[in-house]
Amino acid sequence: MAEQQRDQYPQVRPQDARFPEEATTVRHDDEISLVDLWLALVRQRRWLFGVALAVFLAGSGYALTLPSAQIEFETLIERSTAEDEPLRSAARARAELEHLIIPELRRALREADPDGRRPPEVKISTIEQTGLLRLSSTTRPERLEQVRGLHEAVYEHFAESEQAVFQRTHSELERDLKRAQNELAELAERYAEQRELLRQQLADTQKSLQDLLTERGQLLSQRDALREEEADPGTEAATLAQRQRDLQRDLRENREERETQRADLRGLERDLHELHKQQRSGERELTALIDRLEDRLDRFEEASLIDLATEGETEGSRRNLIIALSAVLGLMLGLFAAFFRQFLEHVREVTGSTSATSPET
């Protein structure tokens, strides 16, 4: 059965396959040749230079529409800080400048100008991770003094606003510092009074204990005297026994009072030690608070002017950059247009030759 199937379906070998001749031959015209690329660029040079020139002229025209000889003047303002942190947020400072200070100053300058010219625009920006504000104005060099005066006026008005916040915050810290210092003085005085009272109680308790010890000595002397009287046959036994009982009672009461006084003495010593500990803890906290407040007061910085209307980027340099970029972009787009035009012509030629040979087939 297997032999019949092999005879019916012979095994196909790769070498027996028949492929079209054009599929097995290598076409050399599919390889990329630098000469062909160059010839293609030569044939499509009109597209290359036309597109490049059009882009260059468009970019140059836009660059030429920019105001000539425009210079950007920058002013840097350092805001008031406490412990290296601005007293006010950057958003609040910018809002005050953009909506209050700058519009009012520009309006005043325009009214004071006999020609009624518009004052230079002032843009506000912040420098991240710092407390700096940047004022920038772009105008002609001959208006430098006007820009300088405007920026200086903006800084003065802003510094007055910052000074109000600075004084308020500084005064609050000074009040807190004075309050902490007064609390420290009151704490020392209060603990001094309590300590003096405890020391007086301690001295009174020690004196009472000493008196009890003296009384005990006297009672012991009386007990020795009673023992000597016991040896005398003329002493009444009943009277002697009563005196002995009274003496024992007095000694017992003396011992109890001495134990009570010793307990009171130990309690007063503990109270005095605890008072010392509380005083040290309170003084330590208040001293640390005072040190922090003094450090914050020392690290207060008022608003200051760093640079006033320094020359920055000019519009001329920006115009030259735009023209140079237009030339580079135009050349790139011209190359792309030339190759794309050559590709379309090649497709058209292939399509035309295919349609011409199809009727013969």
pLDDT grade for 317, boundaries at 50, 70 and 90: low
pTM above 0.75, yes or no: no
Q: What angle do CA 152, 154, 160 make, to 5 degrees?
A: 100
Specify the pairing of strand 300-301 against strand 81-82: antiparallel
Give the rounded distance of the alpha carbon of 279 from its chain centre.
Answer: 38
pLDDT digits (tens, 9 = 90+) for 97-108: 888 888 888 888
* Mean pLDDT computed over 332-355: 80
- Sign of the four-CA dihedral 189, 194, 195, 199: positive
Mean pLDDT calculated for residue range 129-133: 77
pLDDT over 50 (residue 26)? no
Q: Is 142 left (phi over 0), alpha (psi -120 to 50) or beta?
A: alpha
pLDDT at 1 > cutoff 50? no
Closest CA to 135 of 147, 127, 123: 123
The listed range with the strongest mean pLDDT (25-39, 110-124, 166-180, 301-315) is 166-180
Confidence band, pLDDT 50/70/90 cuts, at residue 270: very high
User: How far is it between the farthest Cα atoms of the chain?
Assistant: 177
User: What would the pLDDT profile of 227-264 be if each residue is shown by its tens digit?
Assistant: 777 766 665 677 778 888 888 898 899 899 999 999 99
- The answer, yes or no, to whether residue 359 has pLDDT greater than 60, is no
Can you give the pLDDT at residue 343? 82
List the structure tokens of 94.
């910018």
CA distance 257 to 250: 10
Sign of torsion, CA 105 147 80 159?
negative
- Rounded mean pLDDT of 136-160? 84
Mean pLDDT of the chain: 79
What per-residue confidence (pLDDT) applies to 316? 57
User: And the tokens for 217?
Assistant: 């000595």
Q: What is the mean pLDDT of residues 4-25?
A: 49
Choose between 134 and 14: higher pLDDT: 134
CA distances from 304 to 46, 159, 195, 212, 250 (A): 61, 8, 52, 77, 87
pLDDT of residue 313: 54
Query: How far, rounded to the nearest angstrom, does the alpha carbon of residue 9 sit from its chain's CA centroid?
Result: 83
- In this model, does residue 86 exceed pLDDT 70? yes
Q: What percent of the chain has pLDDT over 90?
A: 7
pLDDT exceeds cutoff 80 at 120: yes
- pLDDT digits over 177-223, tens only? 899 888 888 888 888 888 899 899 999 999 999 998 998 898 888 88
Q: Which pLDDT does position 256 carry in this prediction?
A: 92
